[in-house]
Amino acid sequence: MLLQFIAGLFATVGYALIFNQPRRHLLATGLAGAAGWLLYLFAVSLGNGPGFSCFLSAFLVTILSQIFARVLKDPVMVFCIPGIMPIVPGAGMYNTMRAFIANDMPRALTVGYTTISMAAAIALGLLAASSLVHILTAVHRTFFSGATSKNR
Amino acid sequence: MNVDEKRVLLLALKAGELLLKSGAETARVESTTTRICRSCGIDDADVFVMPTGLFLTVNSADADHAVQSYIKRIRGARTDLERISQLNALSRQLEEKTLTLEEAEQRVEQIGREVQFSFPVRLLGAMMIASCFTLMFDGGLTDFLCSLLVGALTYLFQMKLVVRLQLNWFVETFLCCAASTAMTLMVTRLGLGDNFDPIIIGSLMIFFPGVAITNAVRDILAGDTVSGVSRAADAILTAVSIAMGAAVVLQIYGGMGGVL
């Protein structure tokens, strides 16, 4: 578990390095990525499908990125892009390709289907978390902030 | 249109171009360029951004002046989060008037020239990606060490050789993934690594289109459907070229009698 956490952390920081992330954010992003990867492993170990686990994990990473973006005052995607990389289904894609080469069509289709559902789940997780934050800030702006009241 | 207005527009255009090339999402490019225009006194600026180009139109407040339009074609993006962060900060400073136009012009020039991490640091990043993914996909200690080597060689191959050929992104990805798979097979053939699967996955992960996936979702969510769909297509095509690169080499290896 600890090894997986460290691997997730360093993998995320690796992406942060090749994507030229601002260096003051390296640790925060690494933690978000590692947390996402651990949540994915945990969800899978509870017997959830890889798609749903990816959804949960992407959701967590996006929420963390949104929090970091507000606290550290930088665009969300600066944190989000390296953060979701550990759960991107690279292995699934590779295994699909291997099955295709081995002419094992049933396996290629099942693994390929899982891979696509994982990618879609990541997109959905991003979407759901961003929308949630969007709704919360809109509600906050509309009902709990005096600044806009004069516009109504 | 007076000289100052033109300078502001060129500044906004340059900032928008850099943002788009660095992999910012459509809504951010649009909001940053209009913020730069507005903070310098041009209220009626409209910008339309697509992943491959940027259109900026200004209707001068002065009735005598014609409408001005600029179009910028964008080619070849490289993700650079530091630039996005810096340009975002710059547009906010302009808005708060803590930065003059000259300073802003110089800053944008400087941001366009600088690369935050030197090549060795990014090389280290690529090695970290390759080796950590090998561990995450059940690679052993020897595989871990092999993937450090293969990851470094792959990134060197990409940045020092393939990039200079200025091919399109898909061909570049294809070549790099093919090279990385071939190197992995050689290394395992020499007996340095136990399984080649985790090592190959590790070094292929360097090329995964994480930026395109994230931006596609963010664009579609922001209502920029055209950009979002084209970025999604970009992500899928990149994934296909990664798989093809590895597949071709594995197929040849199998054909030459290698054990897959």
Q: What is the pTM assigned to this prediction? A: 0.89
Q: B45 vs B24, B40, B49, B102, B111, CA distance in Å?
A: 20, 11, 13, 20, 24
Residue B81: closest CA among chain A residues belongs to which residue? A21
Residue A148 pLDDT > 70, yes or no? no
CB-CB under 8 Å, B216 with A74: no
- Position B7 scores a pLDDT of 86
Q: B184 vs B86, B191, B192, B241, CA distance in Å?
A: 38, 11, 10, 18
Q: What is the pLDDT of residues B31-69, one digit of tens each?
A: 999 999 888 888 888 899 998 899 998 877 666 677 888
Weakest mean pLDDT among B109-118, B127-136, B243-252: B109-118
Residue B112 pLDDT > 80, yes or no? yes
Confidence of residue B3 (pLDDT cuts 50, 70, 90): low
Domains in chain B: boundaries: 3-113, 119-255
Residue A150 pLDDT > 60, yes or no? no
Residue A98: closest CA among chain B residues belongs to which residue? B247
- Position B40 scores a pLDDT of 83
Please give the Cα distance from B6 to B3 (Å, whole number).
5
Looking at residue B223, the DSSP 8-state letter turns out to be T
Residue B245: closest CA among chain A residues belongs to which residue? A97
CA distance B132 to chain A (A): 5
- Position B140 scores a pLDDT of 85
CB-CB under 8 Å, B121 with A88: no
- For chain B, give the percent of residues with pLDDT over 90: 49
Residue A125 pLDDT > 90, yes or no? yes
- Position A146 scores a pLDDT of 61
Residue bearing the bigger pLDDT, A59 or B218: A59
The residue assigned the tokens 């070229």 is B241
Q: What is the pLDDT of residues A49-84, one digit of tens each?
A: 999 999 999 999 999 999 999 999 888 889 999 999
- Long-range (24+ apart) CB contacts under 8 A made by A40-49 are A40/A86, A40/A87, A41/A1, A41/A4, A49/A117
